[in-house]
Amino acid sequence: MNKTNCLVIGAGLLGRTLAWRLVLEGHRVSLFEANGPEIPNAAAPVAAAMLAPLAESAITELNVVRMGQYSLEKWPELLKALPHPVFFQRAGTLILWHPADAGEAERFAKLLERNHALLPSLSAPQSLDAQGLSRLEPSLANRFERALFLPQEGQLDNRELLASLLWALEGQEAQGSLQLHWHRPEDPLALLALVKSGEFKAPHFHPGAPTWVIDCRGFGAKPTWTRLRGVRGEVVRLHAPEVTLSRPTRLIHPRYPIYIAPKEKGIFVIGATEIESEDTSPSSVRSTLELLSAAYSVHPGFAEGRVLEMNTQLRPTLPDNLPTIEVQEAGLMRINGLYRHGFLITPLMVDCALEWLQNQQLDLAQSVGLHVSTPT
């Protein structure tokens, strides 16, 4: 395996994970971020970080579902290698609906059954009656007549993961294999030009090794990737210690799927709207009312919860709503378009990038249907 030097631009979820993995594989890395370590403009600190490939199959293409399957099995291995523990569970996903939405629930169930038939390696959806639901989630007893259960799906704590990745990167920096550059916005083409001219100097790099510039800026790449668009999402973070839910719960809703993701210590993440807008202003009254009303309709204990945060985010999205890796020319790679599936598919995206950087191969990407464009 050839060693490389890599300039990774963007220290969100994808950039941090890729930089960390590159160093573990023996490469040398400089990581650039336009903001500080808290990455306030990134989607990752706001997300619910659900790892639910079958549930997502209702609203995305099957190749993304395959990417999610791969990544769901990969996450435990990655988390085990990090310096600090990260909350992770695979207790499945629960799908609920109110009687008025029974027709939509039936359509949703048929769609999941069809997708499971196309990808039988996914755990089959299970139909629950009121008693079955009560056994699975006692706190919801007598509240819903029917439900769907998707076994083996998972979630993790997004903020714990980002913090643990940061600690890992700082440890690598202390060992001399990585350099962190905060508050350093960089243009990938300008950076590549400096590399080619010999003006970019990094004493920790492998002497004479090829150098790659890798753009992982998400929506921040829009100035140089005009096909990108942002899809607005709004998320509420609550502290509701009186509510006991054991797993992520999705409520079928007339306008968009609403999820309730229980984290540790009574924290719940509730979202997320899907609005074709790049408006980053605070959450709207309408969306906030819908999210909180939906949570209350699932469990009345949310009424006594405390609103910790109300956040908006822009998901980086390409015209086909699918992720891509572009190798535009020797030395430049761009990874983007993860949309609402960042945590679901990041391990797959990182492994595909490594496969190309190290061996110029696309076997993994082709096996799951990830689009990778390379120079002809």
Domain count, the chain: 2
Q: Tell me, yes or no, whether 220 and 253 share the same domain.
A: no
Q: Tell me, yes or no, whether 84 and 184 share the same domain.
A: no
Q: Tell me, yes or no, whether 241 and 221 share the same domain.
A: no
What are the two backbone dihedrals, phi and then psi, of residue 126, each rounded to the nearest 5 degrees?
-115, 130
354 contact partners, CB below 8 Å, separation of at least 6? 18, 21, 22, 25
Q: Tell me, yes or no, whether 273 and 301 share the same domain.
A: yes
Measuring CA to CA, which residue among 256, 369, 361, 259 is closest to residue 322?
Answer: 369
Q: Tell me, yes or no, whether 167 and 308 share the same domain.
A: no
Q: Tell me, yes or no, whether 153 and 263 share the same domain.
A: yes
Q: Tell me, yes or no, whether 217 and 189 share the same domain.
A: yes
Q: Tell me, yes or no, whether 271 and 151 share the same domain.
A: yes
Q: What is the CATH number of the domain that holds 84?
A: 3.30.9.10
For 366, the 3-state DSSP assignment is helix
Q: Tell me, yes or no, whether 242 and 341 share the same domain.
A: no
Q: Residues 250-301: pLDDT tens digits? A: 999 877 778 999 999 999 999 977 889 999 999 999 989 999 999 999 999 9
Q: Tell me, yes or no, whether 26 and 171 share the same domain.
A: yes
What's the rounded Cα separation, in Å, for the pair 179 and 169? 9
What's the rounded Cα separation, in Å, for the pair 284 and 312? 9
Q: Residues 298-350: pLDDT tens digits? A: 999 999 999 999 999 999 999 999 999 999 888 999 999 999 999 999 999 99
Q: Tell me, yes or no, whether 301 and 329 share the same domain.
A: no
Does residue 58 belong to any structural domain of this protein?
no
Q: Tell me, yes or no, whether 17 and 132 share the same domain.
A: no
What's the rounded Cα separation, in Å, for the pair 311 and 237? 8
- Helix then strand then coil, % of the chain, to nearest 5: 40, 25, 40
Measuring CA to CA, which residue among 20, 1, 163 is closest to residue 78?
Answer: 20
Q: What is the CATH number of the domain that holds 205?
A: 3.50.50.60
How does DSSP classify residue 284? P
Residue 34 sits in which domain range? 5-45+159-225+320-373
What's the rounded Cα separation, in Å, for the pair 94 and 115? 17
Point out the least confidently predicted range of 34-38, 115-119, 252-256.
252-256
